[in-house]
Amino acid sequence: MDTHESISSLQARLQQGETTSRDIVSTYLNRIEASNSELNALIHVDTDGALAQADAADKALAANPKTTDKPLIGLPVAIKANIAEKGQPLTCASKMLENFVAPYDATVVSKLKDAGAVIIGRANLDEFAMGSSTENSSSGVTRNPWSKEHIPGGSSGGSAAAVSAGYCAGSLGSDTGGSIRQPASFCGCVGMKPSYGRVSRFGLTAFASSLDQIGPLTLGVRDAATMLNVIAGHDELDSTSVPQDVEDFTQTLGEDIKGLKVGLPKEYFVDGMDPQVKSAVDAAIVQYSKLGAEIEEVSLPHTDYAIATYYIICTAEASANLARFDGIRYGARVDGKDPVELYSKTRGAGFGSEVKRRIMLGTYVLSSGYYDAYYLRAQKVRTLIRQDFQKAFEKVDILLTPTVPTPAFKIGEKSMDPLQMYLTDIFTISSNLVGNCGISLPCGFSENPELPIGLQLMGKSFEESKLLKSAYAFEQSTDWHQASPR
Ligand code: GLN
């Protein structure tokens, strides 16, 4: 079996009886066995559970080969280890939750199970999803399948590496400031952040609740649409999930994009971008015009403030969300002579340095005397950024940008310099601040070393169908998505 077999191709072969879920799952498990100890994309593999789920899928398929109500039947998926899966470790890559086992399924996980998916393992991440390289993990760094010396991106680095290494047919990640799209870009796969409210966050360990969103990572755009079909929708367990009908996101795929208005935000095409990224994205722009799209320059004037705004809001929300890890409500307890000492010893021992940095920054920007100057002002700037996008979307259908200014960097290259690390998020964070949808898809490679380059498209909130159709048109007219790491 080809490493790069899409969900749709696997689905077809299963339904035609050409293969079985046990065969497919065994193949994926063999690959995991062969190289996961080196890549460290998955931090827990549920071998027995996956094989049992595969056998159940085969039984269901034998009874009814066209189980169309179960779009992912028999197919292996991996879940980022900050999303609850009942009975499986929910470590969030933190020593704090080293031995924590999820007592229930996140809504997205129960939806995947209802769709017949075989959950093969838990994917590595930056601790509590804070980071851009998967180096901040209590389970150790994940390596990029294209080059072992390079990071896979983050924080959903394990989810992206697992897809590109062929450890699963698709995976789930979470995206607070780019954590699905950026690793997808670095690992050469497709990563989609749905609009805020599109997918339930129930069972996702909260990092920054007004920004977090769960989404799929896959080999291709059609597979992303298929997975989004499964996980999207209102959930009464998450009051921020929007009670809006969910269309079939695969329906618009293949439609002509003649006349589609593609906006290039001029603030995103400035100096500092890696020349290889620039030329890959320029070629993608040419490709869009060949496909009949109308390319237009637009302006997002508050782009310069996005990083500062994001790192104030996300740290503020993180400091509140992570208060529950105190050794009493949650978290590996370290005893002390009184509750204050217990809290401080627990939190001192359980959190890694990036998480501590964020909690301190977040507590600072929320503290009295500084609240107005930082947190409140950041919220106002967030509104300005949102208005920039609203204005741009009055003129164009989608926005096209690089996903990240550079290809993947080397392990250790930025880990001692948080500011450099934060700067890699420049093109992805606005979409979280605004709440719109975004996708990263392969659009080229760098040379020496050969590393994937990603193209980002952003769409208006709840216009995932248009976004996916625009991405699909590009993907199908190029062959970047067909390459797989050696
Ligand atoms: N890299 C960003 C951060 O460190 C985004 C993380 C994310 O999306 N979870 O906050």
Which of 147, 182, 189 has its CA nearest to residue 410?
147
Strands in 452-459's sheet, in edge-to-edge order, are 42-45, 118-123, 76-80, 170-174, 214-218, 190-193, 437-445, 452-459, 398-402, 261-265, 294-298
Residues 6+ apart with CB under 8 A from 282: none
Q: Return the best residue to mutate from 181, 209, 314 for the ligand 1 pocket (most ligand atoms within 8 A of CB).
A: 314
Q: Which of 8, 147, 155, 185 is catalytic?
A: 155
Residues 6+ apart with CB under 8 A from 194: 213, 214, 215, 228, 232, 437, 464
Domains of the chain and CATH, by start? 7-257+438-482 (3.90.1300.10)
Mean pLDDT of 105-114: 98
Mean pLDDT of 20-43: 97
Residues 6+ apart with CB under 8 A from 348: 334
Using the predicted structure, report yes or no on whether residue 316 has a pLDDT greater than 90: yes
- pLDDT per residue over 349-383, tens digit each? 999 999 999 999 999 999 999 999 999 999 999 99
Residues 6+ apart with CB under 8 A from 84: 90, 102, 103, 104, 105, 106, 109, 203, 204, 205
3-state secondary structure 137-159: CCCCCCCECCECCECCCCCCHHH
Compute CA distances 181 → 178, 190, 249, 272, 356, whole Å. Answer: 5, 8, 19, 20, 25
Q: Which of 8, 70, 80, 159 is catalytic?
A: 80
- pLDDT per residue over 262-273, tens digit each? 999 999 998 889
Measured from CB, residues less than 6 Å from any atom of ligand 1 are 129-132, 155, 174-179, 207, 314, 425
Active site residue 179: yes
472 within 8 A of 254, measured Cβ to Cβ? yes
Active site residue 80: yes
**pTM > 0.95:** yes
Active site residue 367: no
Residues 6+ apart with CB under 8 A from 174: 80, 82, 83, 129, 155, 156, 180, 204, 207, 212, 213, 214, 215
Give Cα 391 to chain centroid, integer Å. 27
Compute CA distances 238 → 199, 200, 203, 235, 242, whole Å. Answer: 9, 6, 9, 6, 9
Six token digits for residue 296: 């237009």
Question: Using CA atoms, how far apart are residues 470 and 224, in angstroms rounded to an integer?
Answer: 13
Give Cα 431 to chain centroid, integer Å. 13
Using the predicted structure, report yes or no on whether residue 161 has a pLDDT greater than 80: yes
Which of 85, 79, 88, 94 has its CA nearest to residue 318?
94
- pLDDT at 474 (0 to 100): 98
Which of 313, 307, 300, 303 has its CA nearest to residue 379?
313
> 348: CA distance to ligand 1 center in Å?
22
List beta partners, residue 400: 457
- pLDDT per residue over 215-233, tens digit each? 999 999 999 999 999 999 9
> 421: CA distance to ligand 1 center in Å?
10
Determine what percent of the chain is predicted with pLDDT higher than 90. Answer: 93
Mean pLDDT of 428-449: 97
**Whole-number mean pLDDT of the chain?**
96
Phi, psi (rounded to 5 degrees) for 328: -115, -55
Which of 82, 112, 117 has its CA nearest to residue 97?
82
Name the closest-CA residue to atom 10, ligand 1: 130
Which of 284, 278, 237 has its CA nearest to residue 262?
284
Mean pLDDT of 17-23: 96
Q: How many C-beta atoms lie closer than 10 Å to residue 5's C-beta?
A: 16
Residues 6+ apart with CB under 8 A from 9: none
